[in-house]
Amino acid sequence: MKAGIYFTGTGPILILTTYESLDDPEIIKKLSAKGIKKFIAYEVPEKRVKELYGAYYTMILGDLRPEDDFRVLDYDGHKVFYNFAFDDLSDPIFFEPPADVS
C-alpha cells in the first residue's frame, strides 16, 4: 500500500494505491481519464495518513482491491497541503505527457 500527494493543475490530492509506484502507467491512464495529465507526486508515510484520516482512511482502504487499484482519499487541496510537513514527502516524481510533434 502506498499513499501519495499529487500536485495537479487544480491543487494537491491525496491518493491511496495498491500499485507498486505512484507513476505506474495504469495510474497515469486513470488520472488522464479524469483530466489530470500532468503532475508532481510525492509518496507520504501511510502511518501518517492513517493518523490524520482515521475512520475515513479505514473506509477507503476497505474499498481498495488488493492489487492494481487506487482511490482519492482527499481532494481538498488546502487541507492536503497543510496536513503534511515537507519532511513527510519523498523525492518528487514528475510526469507530463510527451509534447505533441506536429
pLDDT in tens, 5-59: 999 999 999 999 999 999 999 999 999 999 999 999 999 999 999 999 999 888 8
Give the tens place of pLDDT for each residue, 58-81. 888 887 777 778 899 999 999 999
Phi, psi for residue 101 in degrees, rounded to 5: -105, 110
Say what the pLDDT of residue 98 is.
86
Q: What is the residue extent of each domain of the chain?
A: 2-95
Does the structure show a pLDDT above 90 at 88? Answer: yes
Say what the pLDDT of residue 102 is.
59
Say what the pLDDT of residue 101 is.
61
CA distance 73 to 76: 9
22 contacts: CB under 8 Å, gap ≥ 6: 2, 4, 6, 15, 41, 42, 43, 93
Cβ-contact 74, 44 below 8 angstroms: no
